[in-house]
Structure 1
């Protein structure tokens, strides 16, 4: 069940919680063409280990009102507002796919309050040399053009929304066909397929879907802050599927090269490998929270 929070500007933000309601808090940032439902990838494991996952829908997704932003740094205010409303002082962050820059932006602005930082199949920044190598060709072309032309990206996402609403399962099946063999096998599972349909519903049922998606696309080229200047006393733990052709392994490798303090786990699997390695991810996160580096 989701809750609506009023931000300092009066805008409404939808937030859903997973895991243990009384557990140690983690803010979870979903990917592009995604929603709070992606937190369910690790929800069971989080509940078993005493972790409370707080997953906001970004502006234009679900019931979260759309707002124009200059960079991902603008989203940190939302985290502060939700944390204040929930009376949370310090917390961990998880960013999956397109949620990675949001998790790192929170680290950049609120480092003193951050316990652990986990990035799963993280996107960008694409400005890093070689970061897009290995991305599926059509997706890379769209990313290159769309991140430079918000108008073009918005039109493309509007067309995608029309196709999705006409036949959701067919739309998702056509999308899955462009993914790696590992992801195609994973999406043969009915539970995984249906979960992602819920994600798509949250996105494409919103009137602001195209505007929100186009805006995010440009953020993945330049985060709005220098990754190499993130605090060196905070370790960023990266998890990356070696067969991922959406955010390819080269992207994780380039991130690992520029982050001041990082720990990288390159594992067999595709873009949605978090579903398959949730036990490992949560176990590592808990060990870090407990001070076992």
Structure 2
């Protein structure tokens, strides 16, 4: 493991109790309060802005683990939301982080953040859900899905071989032609998502290349886990929670975010006009400021 520094993002690899590897990226100084960031679907822990000065001022470090089959993390085919929550706790133990941490999740990473808070409440002080999704395989949440997301779940469950082939093909494109591939995705995006992705093009390109490592196996397993019963109850989340969502989100429309907030005990929602699914990139300083305040508040209780 590289020696700790306070500078730019540092890649780390730790051994898990069952012999697998877990790769992660550390942003900030290892002596500062820890925040765990769960990356989005088809991406990796490289998707965060590098703002060492802001982290130093807030005395935060952000740990962004790669889910199984992503980046340097070993493939783990029986991936579930609870199994990755256990991996994150093993990561915290290996890094000798004992105090409760902040947790963030972007997009489907928000469901992984909820799983960590629900499964290991003593390890989580506060959570932020950034453009989060619902668990597609939960019966209660399924009724709130749009027809498109119901169709996508049906396709993932009903035709797994087709999805596996698609992710394998996309993996090859990302590895062989990363610039051409991200430009292709930008052309397919809704306007607001395309605008932000163009602005952070290099960062998101590199994050996707790592996301589609291992022949796209991690993306496929993540999709399967997302579509199966989640294995935890949203109502078991007891920590402080804040939701951030864009009114112009073209990936996950904001209509069911109040429903999720109600299931989290009426958690406050930042509903941002004119912003889309990538809002975490343009609001990163404000998000970190809020997390710092939540951790301060939890410490005072």
**Fold similarity call, TM over 0.5:** yes
Q: 2:164 aligns with which of 117, 133, 154?
A: 154
- The equivalent of 2:4 in structure 1 is none
Counterpart among 188, 202, 210 of residue 194 in structure 1 = 202
Contact between 1:236 and 1:263, CA under 8 Å: does it hold in 2? Answer: yes
User: What does residue 30 of structure 1 align with?
Assistant: 39
Q: How far has the Cα of 1:159 moved from its partner? A: 2.0
Tell me, in whole angstroms, the C-alpha distance in 1 between the residues paired with 2:120 and 2:211: 28
Residue deviations 1:148-191, cap 9 Å, x none?
Answer: 543332111112223334422222122122322112222332xx
1:225 maps onto 2:225 in alignment: no
| 8 Å Cα contact 2:43/2:209 also seen in 1 | no
Indicate conservation of the 8 Å contact 2:70/2:219, yes or no.
no
CA distance in 2, matches of 1:160, 1:70: 21
Q: Contact (CA 8 Å) 1:242, 1:266: kept in 2 or not?
A: yes
Q: Tell me the TM-score normalised to structure 2 length.
A: 0.86
4+ long deviations beyond 4 Å: 41-44
Counterparts of 1:42 and 1:132 in 2: how far apart (Å)? 35
**2:260 alignment counterpart:** 255
SS at match of 2:198: coil
Relative to 1, partners in 2 of residues 1:147 and 1:178: Cα closer, same or farther, differing over 3 Å?
farther
Q: Does 1:273 align with 2:279?
A: yes
Can you list the C-alpha shifts for 1:215-250, whole angstroms capped at 9, x where unaligned?
21133233222213333xx22211111111212212
- Secondary structure (helix, strand or coil) at the match of 2:120 reads helix
**Equivalent residue in structure 2 for 1:291, among 250, 274, 297:** 297
RMSD over aligned Cα, in angstroms? 2.3
Cα 1:41–1:121 change in 2 (3 A) is: farther
The 8 Å contact of residues 30 and 55 in structure 1, kept in 2 or not, is answered as yes
Give me the whole-angstrom Cα distance separating, in 2, the residues matched to 1:153 and 1:226: 27
Q: CA deviation at 1:21?
A: 2.8
Deviation at 1:26, TM superposition (A): 0.8
CA spacing shift, 1:146–1:79, aligned 2, 3 Å: same
Instruction: Pick the aligned partner of 2:155 from 142, 145, 153.
Output: 145
Q: Secondary structure at the match of 1:87?
A: coil
Contact 1:130 1:250 in 2 (8 A): no
The runs of 5 or more residues in structure 1 that have no matched partner are none
**In structure 2, do the counterparts of structure 1 residues 66 and 129 end up closer, same or farther at CA, with 3 Å as the change threshold?**
closer
Distance 2:188 2:284 in 1: 24
Closer, same or farther: CA 43–107 of 1 in aligned 2, 3 Å:
farther
Aligned to 2:220: 214
Normalising to structure 1: TM-score of the pair? 0.88
In structure 2, relative to structure 1, the CA distance for the partners of 1:218 and 1:252 (3 Å cut) is farther
> Does residue 1:64 correspond to 2:69, yes or no?
no
Structure 2 runs not aligned, ≥5 long: 1-9
Number of residue pairs the alignment of both structures matches: 284
